[in-house]
Chains A and B, each alone.
Chain A
Amino acid sequence: MIWNKEAECMSSEEKKEIQLNRLKEIVKRAYENVPYYKKRFDEMNLKPEDIQKLEDIEKLPFTTKTDLREAYPFGMFAVADEEIIEVHTSSGTTGKPTVSGYTQKDIDIWSEVMARALSMAGAGKKDKIQNCYGYGLFTGGLGVHYGTQKVGATVIPISAGNTNRQIEIIQDFNTNIITCTPSYALYLAEVLEKQGVDIDKLGLKAGVFGAEMWTEEMRNEIEKRLGIDALNIYGLTEIIGPGVAQECMQKNGLHIFEDHFYPEIIDPKTQETLGEGEKGELVLTTLTREGMPIIRFRTKDITALRREVCDCGRTLVRMDRITGRTDDMMKIRGVIVFPSQIERALLKIEGMEPQYQIIVTRPEYLDELEVQVEASPALFSDEVKHVEEVKRMIEKQIHSEIGLRVNVTLVEPESLPRSEGKAIRVIDKRNFE
């Protein structure tokens, strides 16, 4: 189901023309209304008129999370207070949160892109969408909420948490689409199994999962255990919230709604723009936001862009699933390791529960990586040597994925913390002081 054929299937020339016009406009608006951008442009001797073609975007300065934090709370707003009708913030786990301000038009854009996203998951007017993203300052809850209403489906605004209630509602309301983090989706599957619920009797057909990184193996696991199509959604508060990009049923990358958000991939070290298919940091520019235009925001998310037309008919560029973040990238004994690599290795093992925790320590001068996984009947035996073989097999599997020796510890089932929001996968105990 394509929500907006005109926008999602336009020709490349048409798209570029729209993007260029919008880019010129937003750069002008940012320069004239946001003191931060005026200052940055002036320092670089740049004028909005310097943007004559799309590639000229590379002349523009980057905006980082730190820049936004320094403008806390409302320093990046480009309109008068009376125009702002809603605010959201990032989680603020790494310091002061960043604030995003929305005008009515911004909320309309958000509803539109979320309607496109939910349509990709097959949402129609008759569907009931159980929205288990948290409502509040976090953008997940209201983003899905607005999109559902735009589509004309029924939103069940249950918010995050209270798993027994979630399961009761899934059954009683005959929920068709569920939206939450992928780790919570797995947790729901686990509890459903424990309660002996027959998933074939549920109305669930698809899930829109995001707000944290996940792997293809995890998708297979969720699809198998919940009997649904599990699709990936991407977004961030600084840009708008969820709805920057979404996977279609081809499950072959996320379509970026590039008539509203202009993507680039850069080398995080040299900051040079990279070509199609090259892996690097995603940089986004809002093309239509009124309340808070953002130019070249460094997302810290690592992905690559693909331009060949998708089998679904959409011409929108696709980004690979996020494989890491420049900041949750771990450097272990000098080797770059992403938690997603470890997850991929674990999920290749039959009977492995997708619950794990990575603990990084530095007992002397060398980093040690411990991966805790939950024992399961499939991994366990009455003989010590078999359990130790399993442990070594897991260690080998991870070793071949990341190129480093790790120590795997089997822990008892359900002893690793379950999360109702973003799962905490890495505990770094190294002391760098």
Chain B
Amino acid sequence: MKLKQISIFLENKKGRLKKAINVLSQADINIRALSIADTSEFGILRLIVPQPEEAQKVLEENHFVVKVNEVIAVEVPDKPGGLDGILGVLHDSDTNVEYIYAFVEKNSDNAVVVIRTEDIDEGIKVLEAGNIHVLTSEEVNLL
């Protein structure tokens, strides 16, 4: 199952991150997970939210450049070696990871890992073949 992620272009300028987050807060959109890729000139803010379409709409209304794309979410045990196992599966099948980030669940002993592989479908196939449970968007948002 693929999960929708929204990416936001941020200029390296004071207050831009805050502005983007504030727009979501005003729209009452909860952020499930977040990561920032930063370069010397710009940043890409990536978010998992329960309502990606709604988030895109309010951000665009506030003149942000937004892209919605798909990523993979998997659940791993929140203990040493949890992530290593998943990366091992991907490594063994020569699947390249573009980026990855994780968040810890409050109500269980698991962590959720968000993975972006070059080819998402291929990534899912490999993970499932390695007996790793790929989360649906409902599962992620219910956590």
Interface, chain A (partner B; CB < 8 A):
375-377, 379-385, 387-388, 409-415
Task: Determine the residue in chain A with the shortest Cβ distance to B16.
Answer: A412
Verify if B66 is at the interface (C-beta below 8 Å from A): yes
B69 vs chain A, min Cβ distance (A):
5
The dominant DSSP class at the A interface is: loop
Contacts of A382 in B (CB 8 A): 5, 7, 44, 46, 67, 69, 116
- Complex CA gap A350/B31 in Å reads 33
Distance, CA A409 to CA B42, complexed state (A): 9
Indicate if the CB atoms of B39 and A413 lie closer than 8 Å.
Answer: no
Which residue from chain B places its CB closest to the CB of A407 in the assembled complex? B41
The answer to whether A381 touches B67 (Cβ under 8 A) is yes
B11 touches A412 (CB 8 A): yes
Which 8 pairs show the lowest CB-CB distances between chains A and B?
A382-B7, A375-B65, A375-B9, A414-B63, A380-B65, A384-B37, A412-B11, A413-B63
**B39 partner, pick from A380, A381, A388, beta carbons under 8 A:** A388
With both chains docked as a complex, state the minimum distance between the C-beta of A377 and any C-beta of chain B, in angstroms: 6
Q: Is the CB of B16 within 8 A of A377?
A: no
- Residue ranges of B at the interface with A (Cβ–Cβ < 8 Å): 5, 7, 9-11, 16, 37, 39, 41-42, 44, 46, 63-67, 69, 98-99, 116
Inter-chain CA distance A383–B39, complex, in Å, is 11
Query: Judging by beta carbons under 8 Å apart, are A415 and B116 in contact?
Result: no
Asked if A387 meets B65 with Cβ closer than 8 Å, knowing A382-B7, A412-B9, the reply is: no
Could you tell me the distance in whole angstroms from the C-beta of A53 to the nearest C-beta in chain B?
61
CB distance from A397 to the nearest CB of B (A): 18
Give A413's nearest chain B residue, CB to CB: B63
- Contact present for A409 and B44 (CB under 8 Å): no
Residues of A within 8 A of B37 (CB): 384
For B67, what are the chain A residues with a Cβ–Cβ distance below 8 Å? 377, 380-382
Q: Which residues of B contact A385 (CB under 8 A)?
A: 98
Contacting pair B11 A387 (CB below 8 A) = no
Complex Cα distance, B125 from A413, in Å, reads 38
Assembled-state Cα–Cα distance A382/B64 (Å): 14
Q: Give A410 to B10 CA distance when docked, in angstroms.
A: 9
Contacts of A387 in B (CB 8 A): 9, 42, 44
B residues in contact with A379, CB < 8 Å:
65
Closest-CB distance, A162 to chain B (whole angstroms): 21
Query: How many residue pairs bridge A and B at CB < 8 Å?
Result: 53
Instruction: With a 10 A CB-CB cut-off, give which of B16, B41, B46, B99 has the most chain A CB atoms.
Output: B41
Residues of B within 8 A of A380 (CB): 7, 9, 65, 67
Q: A388 — nearest CB in chain B belongs to which residue?
A: B39
What chain B residues lie within 8 Å of A415 (beta carbons)?
11, 63
With known contacts A382-B44, A384-B44, A387-B44, A413–B65 Cβ distance under 8 A? yes
Q: Which residues of A contact B41 (CB under 8 A)?
A: 409-410
Give chain B residues whose Cβ lies under 8 Å from the Cβ of A377.
65-67
Cα-based distance from A384 to B63 in the complex (angstroms): 20
Q: List 19 A-B contacts (CB under 8 A).
A: A375-B65, A376-B65, A377-B65, A380-B7, A380-B67, A382-B46, A382-B69, A382-B116, A383-B99, A383-B116, A384-B37, A387-B42, A388-B39, A410-B42, A412-B9, A412-B16, A412-B64, A413-B63, A414-B63
Determine how close the nearest CB of chain A comes to the CB of B2; give it in whole angstroms. 13
Q: How far is the CA of A306 from the CA of B10 in the complex (A)?
A: 48
Q: State in angstroms the CA–CA spacing of A410 and B41 once bound together.
A: 8
In the assembled complex, the CB of B19 is this many whole angstroms from the nearest CB of chain A, namely: 10
Q: What CA separation (Å) do A62 and B99 show in the bound complex?
A: 65
Nearest to A379 among chain B residues (CB) is: B65
B7 (CB) vs chain A CBs: closest residue = A382
Known: A380-B7, A383-B98, A383-B99. A412 touches B65 (CB 8 A): yes
**Which residues of B are found within 8 Å of A409, using beta-carbon distances?**
41
Across the interface, which residues of B come within 8 angstroms of A413, CB to CB?
63-65
- Give complex CA distance A172, B37 in Å: 48
Residue of A nearest to B42 (CB): A410
Q: Which B residues touch A383, using CB under 8 A?
A: 44, 98-99, 116
When the two chains form their complex, are residues B11 and A411 in contact, meaning their CB atoms are under 8 A apart?
yes
How many angstroms from the CA of A375 to the CA of B13 in the assembled complex?
Answer: 15
Rounded to whole Å, the gap between the CB of A12 and the closest CB of chain B is 55
Q: Which residues of A contact B9 (CB under 8 A)?
A: 375, 380, 387, 410, 412
- What is the bound-complex CA distance between A379 and B66, given in angstroms? 11
B39 CB contacts on chain A under 8 angstroms: 384, 388
A410 nearest CB neighbor, chain B only? B42
Across-interface contacts of B65 in A (CB, < 8 A): 375-377, 379-380, 412-413
Q: Which chain B residues border A412 with CB–CB below 8 Å?
A: 9-11, 16, 63-65
Q: How distant is the Cα of A410 from the Cα of B44 in the complex, in angstroms? A: 12
A-B contacts besides A381-B7, A384-B44, 18 pairs, CB < 8 Å: A380-B9, A380-B65, A380-B67, A381-B67, A382-B44, A382-B46, A383-B99, A387-B9, A387-B42, A387-B44, A409-B41, A410-B9, A410-B11, A412-B9, A412-B11, A412-B65, A414-B63, A415-B63
